[in-house]
Structure 1
Amino acid sequence: MSNQLLFSIKLFSILGCGLVAGMFFAFSTFVMLALEQRPPAEGIAVMQAINITVINPWFMVAFLGTAVTCLGLAISSLMQWQQLGSAYLLMGSLLYLIGTLFVTMRFNVPMNDALAIVQPNSPDAVGLWNHYLTQWTFWNHIRTAAALAATASLTLALRAPQL
């Protein structure tokens, strides 16, 4: 892989991890808090709308595009382990792939799916919403920290001199 292509992939990954970290940070620090302050039916309805709206090309390029480039960087780091910065590449890539993508698919998406089928005014809605607010937000904190740590690690890899 050419140095320029590798640099471009690293840079895209850094920017993607940082962008995703920022989106998750916003949810952890004020979006979920604002939804919690609303009546449960209203909070549920808004979160259901958010979960539909988030499936768009811009978010998918940032979220999944970063996962693809991180996977490529993880493989590249293993193939060129002797290169300075390879450990940072591998660590940053794994932080994103496991701490962001895997956590999303394993924890946040199933909770979103459960929330999607509840009627906001149903008797079960309040209990589900209270559980959702605490658990979804907990896992979102994990995703935020992982994406931010991935950004830092990949940035350190970018700074490593090439042999």
Structure 2
Amino acid sequence: MDISIKTLSLFGAVVFTGLSAGLFFAWSVSVIPGTQKINSEAYLETMQSINRAILNPVFFMVFFGSLLFLGAASYYQFHVSSSAFWFMLIAAATYLIGTLAVTGLGNVPLNDQLESTQLNLLNKVQLEDLRSFYESKWNRFHLIRTICAIASFVFATASIFSTLKFIK
């Protein structure tokens, strides 16, 4: 069985982008509603713990691998089909700007700020103020990256379908 780099890049783009979109979607419908039910100190401690735990090789492989696969697939689709190329390029740009950049410029600085905070030195009002500041901004950035990751997955999938004979 001869599997080409083009095929691997397309498969990787769809699978890795789907995994990223799935992670962010699952977070939106499970973790966020769950953390809304706990007090501010528990919320902030939980977010500190999760933010440490997610910094692992598997997450990085999927998060950054999505962009690498999308870029490679865009390159290989350039010579296959105009519509497939544009779908994949839009998927890559959407992921780069809406998922990766929003995470790096929005969520990560908030996580770093939270990590550097010694929660045990804050009183109840300070904990509630920090939570209000952090949670509202973090969830807004998270919503943007979730929508963009899902859109990127849809465009990557559309790229593959646009090359199939029965679609034309």
Which interval holds the TM-score relative to the shorter structure? 0.7 to 0.9
Counterpart CA distance in 2 for 1:138 and 1:127 is: 17
Does the alignment pair 1:133 with 2:135?
A: yes
Sort the Cα spacing of 1:119 and 1:7 in 2 relative to 1 into closer, same or farther, 3 A.
same
* Paired residues of 1:25 and 1:144 also in contact (CA < 8 A): yes
Does the alignment pair 1:144 with 2:159?
A: no
- The count of corresponding residues between Structure 1 and Structure 2 is 161
Q: Give CA-to-partner distance per residue, 1:41-84, whole Å, 9 cap, x none.
A: 1111111010011011111111011122223334555x549644
| Counterpart position of 2:71 | 71
| Counterpart position of 1:101 | 100
Counterpart CA distance in 2 for 1:47 and 1:59 is: 16
Unaligned stretches of 5+ in structure 1?
none
Amino acid at match of 1:160: S
Q: Give CA-to-partner distance per residue, 1:74-102, whole Å, 9 cap, x none.
A: 4555x549644111011111111111101
Amino acid at match of 1:35: T
Q: Taking every aligned residue pair, what percent have the same amino acid on both sides?
A: 28
* Paired residues of 1:24 and 1:144 also in contact (CA < 8 A): yes
Counterpart CA distance in 2 for 1:146 and 1:107 is: 14
* Paired residues of 2:81 and 2:163 also in contact (CA < 8 A): no
Deviates more, 1:53-62 or 1:21-30: 21-30
- Say which SS state the counterpart of residue 117 (structure 2) adopts: coil
| Counterpart position of 1:119 | 118
Counterpart CA distance in 1 for 2:17 and 2:36 is: 27
Counterpart CA distance in 2 for 1:118 and 1:125 is: 10
| Counterpart position of 1:153 | 155
| Counterpart position of 1:14 | 14
Structure label with greater radius of gyration: 2
* Paired residues of 1:118 and 1:125 also in contact (CA < 8 A): no
- Say which SS state the counterpart of residue 55 (structure 2) adopts: coil
Unaligned stretches of 5+ in structure 2?
none
Does the alignment pair 1:55 with 2:55?
A: yes
Structure 1 residue 25: Cα displacement: 1.1
- Say which SS state the counterpart of residue 118 (structure 1) adopts: coil
* Paired residues of 1:20 and 1:63 also in contact (CA < 8 A): yes
- Say which SS state the counterpart of residue 85 (structure 1) adopts: helix
Amino acid at match of 2:14: I
